Amino acid sequence: MDWDDLRIFLCVARAGSLAEAAKSLRLDPATLSRRIARLEAGAGAALFLKSPRGYALTGAGHRLLPHAEGMEGGARAGVAALAGDDRLRGRVRIGAPDGIANHVLPAVLTRMRASHPDLGLDLVALPRVFDLGRREADLAITVSAPKAGRLRVRRLCDYRLSLAAHRDYLARHGEIVTRAALRGHAIVGYIPDMIFDADLDYLGEVGAEAPGLASNSAAVQLGLIRAGAGVGVVHDFMLAHAPELRRVLPGEVRLSRAFHLSRHADAGGSLVTRTADLLAEGVRAEIARLEAATES
């Protein structure tokens, strides 16, 4: 694919309309429309849904987006390398759900700081959605992709979740060999009226009853399960940190979700963009490493 066409694709994806992208690129909308059509023809797929409200990415567009952003990041890194200094300087605030904040991001951010000692990183770990419009964070990791606001959103990676319980709990209460056998077991999960993202509503998908012990925090739920409180849904990357837990119904219950990384459309500049690229690369690698460890 022609990089110049991909550059236009990125600009339209971020602006959400040909008119806004045309202003940024100093090209006329008709030219942009022809270039997008050429890119779609080459890709063999529609990349945008066109409507009176603007241009929205299709599924194919979302799949292309991180690769185009990777090329953009590589180009910027090359320019920085030619200048003789590729290190990041400044401070970036990252908002994330407490599960990934506790069990994935510490290793990722530590490696980022080792490579860029002048980069300051604030990690705000809260079980809620961050308001990028109010600048609560420069970058936000979410499960569902945000729909509202002028945001630039990329899909980070898929991750898996499993039913799990402490081995001592299973020894006391017996092995669970069918979904029906979950009934009567103590269930750990989210407080139903405090689920801040619809994709976190796991128990209905699993077929479990309402939780007897509940928390709005994934990390607290893990602590309860590790204490032998009952059976609950656990991120596979968390299981790598809890060897005393065992999967329940591993051949039957395996959930899949995705993390997304967002920033405000106006939060431009090399610092936030390059930090986002490093964060995305690091999260993908660390989740892959942790999930692989649980399979060994």
Mean pLDDT of 58-83: 73
Whether residue 182 lies inside any domain: the answer is: yes
Same domain, 262 and 247: no
Same domain, 225 and 270: no
pLDDT over threshold 70, residue 78: no
Same domain, 126 and 200: no
Mean pLDDT of 262-279: 79
Same domain, 268 and 248: no
* pLDDT confidence of residue 296: 57
* pLDDT higher at 232 or 76: 232
Mean pLDDT of 41-47: 90
Angstrom distance (rounded) from CA 93 to CA 132: 11
pLDDT over threshold 70, residue 81: no
Whether residue 33 lies inside any domain: the answer is: yes
Angstrom distance (rounded) from CA 77 to CA 274: 8
Whether residue 74 lies inside any domain: the answer is: no
**Number of domain units in the chain:** 3
Same domain, 54 and 179: no
Angstrom distance (rounded) from CA 90 to CA 291: 32
Whether residue 144 lies inside any domain: the answer is: yes
pLDDT over threshold 80, residue 295: no
pTM: 0.67
| Coil, strand or helix at 140 | strand
Mean pLDDT of 159-182: 90
Same domain, 212 and 132: no
Q: In the block, which residue shows the tokens 């509940």?
A: 214
User: CA 28, 29, 33: angle at the middle one, nearest 5?
Assistant: 125
Angstrom distance (rounded) from CA 55 to CA 97: 29
* pLDDT confidence of residue 77: 62
- Structural domain boundaries enclosing 240: 159-257
Say which DSSP state 137 is in. -
Whether residue 73 lies inside any domain: the answer is: no
User: CA 61, 63, 64: angle at the middle one, nearest 5?
Assistant: 65
Same domain, 54 and 185: no
Whether residue 78 lies inside any domain: the answer is: no
Angstrom distance (rounded) from CA 173 to CA 167: 10
Which contiguous run of DSSP H or E holds residue 148? none
Whether residue 76 lies inside any domain: the answer is: no
Mean pLDDT of 46-71: 83
The answer to whether residues 92 and 139 touch, using CB atoms and an 8 Å cutoff, is yes
* pLDDT higher at 2 or 178: 178
Angstrom distance (rounded) from CA 176 to CA 273: 47
Same domain, 163 and 151: no
Same domain, 252 and 262: no
CB atoms within 10 A of CB 112: 19
pLDDT over threshold 80, residue 131: no
Q: Domain with 176 in it: what CATH number?
A: 3.40.190.10
pLDDT over threshold 80, residue 58: yes
pLDDT over threshold 70, residue 130: no
Whether residue 173 lies inside any domain: the answer is: yes
pLDDT bucket at 265, cuts 50 / 70 / 90: low
Same domain, 252 and 134: no
Same domain, 183 and 242: yes
Mean pLDDT of 7-31: 85
Model confidence over 195-253: pLDDT tens digits?
A: 777 788 888 778 777 888 999 899 999 999 999 999 999 999 999 889 999 999 988 88
Same domain, 163 and 252: yes
pLDDT bucket at 167, cuts 50 / 70 / 90: very high
What rounded mean pLDDT belongs to the chain? 85
pLDDT bucket at 133, cuts 50 / 70 / 90: very low
Q: Domain with 18 in it: what CATH number?
A: 1.10.10.10
pLDDT bucket at 116, cuts 50 / 70 / 90: very high
